[in-house]
């Protein structure tokens, strides 16, 4: 996440397998070879294939109906599968019986893992992920220099059995997890770099590189992505499709994603959907998303003037331009980021202060050459439709202020694309995560965060995708995850939340028809 500098004034400077139409309740029942004798006839109430009937009740202690979301082995119990014991096979040869049982067990492998299964695997991996995160945290590397970090990530992906590609752009790492069955390909993005921030951290794993700190949480993102790779790799045979883990360099300089795209990332690896997450100063475990823009649009505007105005007149003009362009809802102060988690006016409130605004710096005065003066400022606009008209409005302010004779021109001199979430995929993600972990597991954002952006936007220009925000603050512990600050810290439980939630999301996406 790249953060623009702000002035202290405040205003700114499961894939579910369905019962087969054959009348059988589950894959293991339908995989019986044609040469094998049929199971003994059961009473109608006991026959498999009827919704609500106690499928495999003889082998499942609960006697519950077969569920389409059962994990592997839920219907298959060793040598006893779907009511078939060895005696069922009568005069069959023992080898034929063993073959039939093997086929039955193999049939069950098509069931996708449940959220509970993924959560259990996440819990087992958690301590190792925390240790990995702390190792990366202690050795941060600036954009373009992510040598050690990339090697650490690539080594872990290889340990997990993924196909690894390095060096497409800079120190990028790509890990490809191939599922056991055909299907779509989904991608998950993480970043490798840290930021040039002095840290006041005192933990045993604090940065060992002076002036460089993982103050944006990319170390947490890497732990989440590698945790997802670990959890999903353990059940790759049940995945319908592939997962591509993209670890990009140079996010903080806003060059890594574009560099990978320009060098043919999506020509080399065909991807149907892409997802990513960023930790920030919301309560730990809170996941927030919205369709469309999740950040405000960023521009830098320049007003070029003839340099014949005295300094007081330039200062007054700069203030007039800012006053004419800025806007916010009555009483709202969207530049006050400490309120982003406020339940009354924060990002997830219908009455959020973080919607329908334009924040602008007081323009700074620079003199590039004799006879010319610039007034330049960063601005943050929530409404993309207003952007094209802002230079003309600024020019009008100059003219109505009596300085039309000095005006040379107004233009944008810098801009970046903003993260733009695909609406259908966002709705699907909200539904999937809500169904798996409860309605409170993910919340819809009504506002857009100012001052931040992410070059994940370049990936979304080529592939539809969704970018989530994950809370990592814990006020009770004195942990505040405000990005790019010297006191940035995270509650590492955010790693557990990220792995189990987003591994479940990807597993579900791979279990749905393309």
Specify whether the CB–CB gap between 244 and 514 falls below 8 A: no
Q: Is residue 48 part of a domain?
A: yes
**pLDDT (mean) for 370-380:** 97
**pLDDT (mean) for 247-261:** 97
Q: How far apart are CA 144 and CA 212, in angstroms?
A: 13
Do 284 and 317 share a structural domain?
no
Beta-strand pair 240-248/364-369: unpaired
Specify whether the CB–CB gap between 383 and 356 falls below 8 A: yes
CA 273 to the chain's CA centroid: 12
Do 399 and 481 share a structural domain?
no
Nearest to 435 by CA among 360, 508, 348: 508
Q: Is residue 446 part of a domain?
A: yes
Specify whether the CB–CB gap between 378 and 361 falls below 8 A: yes
> Helix (H, G, I), strand (E, B), or coil: what is residue 398?
helix
Do 180 and 261 share a structural domain?
yes
Nearest to 118 by CA among 490, 427, 471, 497: 497
- Where a domain ends, among 397, 415, 433? 415
Do 497 and 410 share a structural domain?
no
How would DSSP label each residue in 471-497?
Answer: EEEBGGGTB---TTSTT----THHHHH
Q: How far apart are CA 146 and CA 222, in angstroms?
A: 13
**pLDDT (mean) for 236-247:** 96
Specify whether the CB–CB gap between 471 and 93 falls below 8 A: no
CA 339 to the chain's CA centroid: 22
Q: Is residue 280 part of a domain?
A: yes
Beta bridge partners of 381: 297, 358
Nearest to 148 by CA among 216, 219, 204: 219
Do 210 and 128 share a structural domain?
yes
Q: What is the CATH number of the domain that holds 406?
A: 3.30.70.600
φ/ψ of 70, rounded to 5, equals -65, 145
User: Is pLDDT of 15 > 70?
Assistant: no
Specify whether the CB–CB gap between 319 and 362 falls below 8 A: yes
Q: How far apart are CA 306 and CA 374, in angstroms?
A: 9
Do 312 and 168 share a structural domain?
no
The rounded radius of gyration (Å) of the Cα atoms in the chain is 28
Q: Residue 96: its pLDDT value, please?
A: 43
**pLDDT (mean) for 33-52:** 37
Give the total number of structural domains in the chain: 3
Q: How far apart are CA 204 and CA 479, in angstroms?
A: 16
Specify whether the CB–CB gap between 282 and 484 falls below 8 A: no
Do 267 and 226 share a structural domain?
yes
How many CB atoms lie under 10 A from the CB of residue 388?
Answer: 9
User: Is pLDDT of 98 > 90?
Assistant: no
CA distances from 296 to 48, 185, 247, 464 (A): 55, 30, 25, 19
Q: Is residue 18 part of a domain?
A: no
Q: What is the CATH number of the domain that holds 477?
A: 3.40.630.10
Specify whether the CB–CB gap between 471 and 280 falls below 8 A: yes
Q: Residue 514: its pLDDT value, please?
A: 56
Specify whether the CB–CB gap between 396 and 489 falls below 8 A: no
Q: Six-digit token pair at 331? A: 């009483």
Tokens 């623009």, located at residue: 4
Q: How far apart are CA 361 and CA 302, in angstroms?
A: 12
Q: How far apart are CA 209 and CA 149, in angstroms?
A: 13
- Where a domain ends, among 394, 415, 436? 415
Instruction: Give the count of alpha carbons within 13 A of 359, CB side only.
Output: 29
Instruction: Give the count of alpha carbons within 13 A of 214, CB side only.
Output: 29
pTM of the model: 0.79
Model pLDDT for residues 450-502, shown as the tens digit of each residue: 999 999 999 999 999 999 999 999 999 999 999 999 999 999 999 999 999 99
Instruction: Give the count of alpha carbons within 13 A of 90, CB side only.
Output: 6
Q: How far apart are CA 101 and CA 93, in angstroms?
A: 13
Q: Is residue 123 part of a domain?
A: yes
Q: Six-digit token pair at 216? A: 């944006």
Q: Six-digit token pair at 258? A: 């574009």
Instruction: pLDDT band for 513, please (50, 70, 90 cuts).
Output: low
Do 167 and 152 share a structural domain?
yes
Model pLDDT for residues 160-183, shown as the tens digit of each residue: 999 999 999 999 999 999 999 999
Do 135 and 211 share a structural domain?
yes
Q: Residue 263: its pLDDT value, please?
A: 98
Do 227 and 190 share a structural domain?
yes
Q: Residue 418: its pLDDT value, please?
A: 97
How many CB atoms lie under 10 A from the CB of residue 301?
Answer: 23
Q: Is 478 exposed, middle or buried (0-12, 13-18, 19+ CB in 10 A)?
A: exposed
Nearest to 88 by CA among 58, 120, 111, 52: 58
Q: Is residue 135 part of a domain?
A: yes
Do 305 and 165 share a structural domain?
no
Q: Is residue 19 part of a domain?
A: no
Q: How far apart are CA 387 and CA 418, in angstroms?
A: 13
Q: Residue 4: its pLDDT value, please?
A: 60
- Where a domain ends, among 56, 90, 108? 108
User: Is pLDDT of 416 > 70?
Assistant: yes
Do 244 and 191 share a structural domain?
yes
Q: Six-digit token pair at 304? A: 């070029």
Output 73 or 212, whichever has higher pLDDT. 212
User: Is pLDDT of 83 > 70?
Assistant: no
Q: How far apart are CA 207 and CA 202, in angstroms?
A: 9
Range of the domain at 372: 297-415
> Helix (H, G, I), strand (E, B), or coil: what is residue 128?
helix
């Amino acid at each position: 996440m790249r953060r623009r500098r702000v002035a202290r004034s405040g205003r700114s400077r499961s894939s579910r397998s369905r019962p087969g139409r054959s009348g059988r309740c589950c894959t293991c029942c339908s995989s019986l070879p044609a040469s094998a004798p049929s199971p003994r006839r059961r009473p109608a109430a006991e026959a498999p294939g009827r919704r609500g009937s106690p499928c495999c009740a003889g082998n499942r202690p609960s006697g519950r109906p077969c569920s389409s979301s059962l994990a592997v082995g839920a219907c298959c119990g060793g040598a006893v599968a779907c009511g078939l014991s060895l005696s069922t096979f009568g005069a069959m040869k023992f080898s034929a019986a063993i073959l039939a049982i093997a086929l039955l067990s193999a049939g069950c492998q098509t069931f996708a893992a449940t959220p509970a299964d993924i959560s259990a695997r996440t819990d087992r991996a958690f301590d190792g992920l925390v240790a990995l995160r702390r190792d990366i945290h202690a050795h941060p590397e600036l954009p373009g220099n992510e040598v050690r970090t990339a090697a650490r990530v690539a080594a872990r992906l290889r340990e997990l059995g993924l196909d690894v590609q390095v060096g497409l752009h800079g120190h990028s790492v790509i890990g490809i997890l191939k599922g056991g069955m055909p299907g779509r390909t989904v991608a998950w993005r993480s970043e490798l770099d840290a930021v040039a921030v002095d840290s006041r951290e005192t933990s045993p794993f604090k940065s060992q590189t002076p002036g460089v700190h993982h103050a944006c949480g990319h170390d947490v993102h890497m732990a989440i992505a590698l945790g997802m790779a670990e959890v999903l790799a353990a059940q790759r045979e049940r995945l319908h499709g592939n997962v591509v883990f993209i670890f990009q360099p140079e996010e903080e300089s806003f060059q890594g994603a574009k560099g990978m795209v320009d060098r043919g990332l999506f020509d080399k690896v065909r991807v149907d959907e892409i997802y990513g997450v960023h930790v920030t100063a919301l309560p730990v475990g809170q996941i927030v998303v919205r369709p469309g823009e999740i950040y405000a649009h960023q521009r830098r505007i320049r007003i070029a003037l003839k340099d014949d105005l005295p300094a007081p007149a330039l200062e007054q003009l700069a203030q007039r331009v800012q006053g004419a362009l800025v806007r916010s809802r009555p009483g709202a102060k969207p530049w006050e980021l400490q309120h982003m988690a406020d339940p009354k006016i924060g990002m997830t409130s219908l009455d959020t202060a973080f919607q329908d605004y334009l924040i602008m710096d007081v323009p700074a005065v620079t003199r590039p050459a004799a006879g010319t003066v610039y007034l330049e400022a960063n601005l943050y606009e929530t409404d993309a439709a207003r952007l094209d008209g802002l230079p003309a409005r600024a020019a009008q302010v100059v003219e109505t202020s009596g300085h039309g004779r000095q005006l040379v021109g107004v233009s944008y001199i810098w801009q970046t694309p903003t993260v733009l979430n695909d609406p259908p995929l966002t709705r699907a993600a909200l539904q999937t995560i809500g169904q798996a972990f409860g309605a409170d597991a993910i919340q819809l954002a009504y506002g857009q965060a100012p001052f931040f952006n992410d070059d994940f936007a370049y990936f979304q220009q080529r592939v539809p995708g969704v970018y989530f925000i994950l809370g990592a603050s814990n006020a009770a512990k004195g942990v505040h995850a405000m990005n790019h600050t010297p006191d940035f810290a995270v509650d590492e439980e955010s790693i557990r939340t990220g792995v189990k939630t987003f591994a479940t999301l990807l597993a579900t996406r791979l279990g749905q028809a393309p």
